[in-house]
C-alpha cells in the first residue's frame, strides 16, 4: 500500500460523514505522533511542532500553506513563539476524512526537511 504522504487528497464533497472510529484507529498507526481529539466540538488531528527560531516557524507554515493550496485542503495553524500547532479536519463533514491523515503525513515530511 502507498504511504500516506505519497498520496493525494481526494474530493471529499461526496462523503457527507466522518470516517469510522475503526478507520481512524487504523490510519493513526501511520501517523503515531499526531493526536486525535475533540477541538471546538469536532474531532481533529493535532500536533505541535517545536522551533528554536521564530522565523523557522514561519517558514514551516509557509510550506504548509503551499501544500494546502496544492491539495485544496487547509488546516488551522496556530503560530506561537517556539511552536506551531497544526490541526487537520474536513470542514464540510465537521470531522475526520482520509484527506486529513494524508495531510498530517505530508506535514510530517515538511518538518523533516
Q: Which pTM value belongs to this model?
A: 0.92
Residue 57 structural domain: 18-112
Give the contacts of 89 (CB within 8 A, at least 6 positions apart).
Answer: 39, 42, 43, 44, 45, 95, 96, 100
Q: What is the DSSP string of the chain?
A: ---GGGS-----SS--SPPPHHHHHHHHTTSTT-EEEEETTEEEEEEEEE-SSHHHHHHHHHHHHHHHHHHT---EEEEETTEEEEEE-BTTTTB--HHHHHHHHHHHHHHH-
Contact 103, 9 (CB under 8 A): yes
Residue at 94 is within a domain:
yes
Report pLDDT for 12.
64
Mean pLDDT value across residues 36-64: 95
For the ranges 5-14, 21-30, 53-62, 92-101, the lowest mean pLDDT is seen at 5-14
Helices 98-112, 21-28: axis angle to 10 degrees equals 20
Query: Domain of 23: which CATH number?
Result: 3.30.1360.20
Residue at 2 is within a domain:
no
- Total of domains in the chain: 1
Report pLDDT for 60.
97
Residue at 9 is within a domain:
no
Residue at 12 is within a domain:
no
Residue at 38 is within a domain:
yes
| Per-residue pLDDT tens digits for 73-108 | 999 999 999 999 999 999 888 899 999 999 999 999
Amino acid at each position: 500500500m502507498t504511504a500516506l504522504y505519497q498520496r493525494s487528497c481526494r474530493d471529499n464533497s461526496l462523503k457527507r460523514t466522518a470516517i469510522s472510529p475503526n478507520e481512524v484507529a487504523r490510519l493513526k498507526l501511520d501517523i503515531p505522533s499526531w493526536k486525535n481529539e475533540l477541538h471546538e466540538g469536532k474531532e481533529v488531528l493535532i500536533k505541535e511542532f517545536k522551533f528554536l527560531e521564530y522565523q523557522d516557524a514561519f517558514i514551516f507554515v509557509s510550506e504548509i500553506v503551499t501544500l494546502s493550496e496544492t491539495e485544496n485542503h487547509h488546516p488551522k495553524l496556530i503560530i506561537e513563539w517556539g511552536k506551531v500547532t497544526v490541526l487537520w479536519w474536513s470542514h464540510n463533514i465537521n470531522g475526520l476524512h482520509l484527506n486529513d491523515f494524508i495531510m498530517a503525513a505530508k506535514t510530517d515530511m515538511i518538518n523533516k526537511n
